[in-house]
Amino acid sequence: MITTRKSSQVNVFAGSPWEAASVKTLLNAAYIQVSTSDRKDGILLSVPSEYYAAAIRIIGNRN
């Protein structure tokens, strides 16, 4: 029996459009799907909860 599991999204980054695009490129290169939301103070990026630790590690290591 196959069941689908809906994963929850976790916010991992908020910033200007160019910062968010840069971070999204890094996460996509690591095969992490990223959802974006446009907020009035910038762009919010979120990832599936099971990729949270990897996403935070990647974001923390960017220069």
In tens digits, what is the pLDDT along the chain, a chain of 63 residues? 665 666 799 999 999 999 999 999 999 999 999 999 998 889 999 999 999 999 999 999 986
Domains in the chain with CATH codes: 9-61 (3.30.70.1530)
Contact call for residues 14 and 39 (beta carbons, < 8 A):
yes
Specify the residue for token string 């991992």.
12
In this structure, what token pair is assigned to residue 12?
Answer: 């991992």
pTM given for the model: 0.83
Strand order in the sheet with 42-48: 9-15, 42-48, 35-39
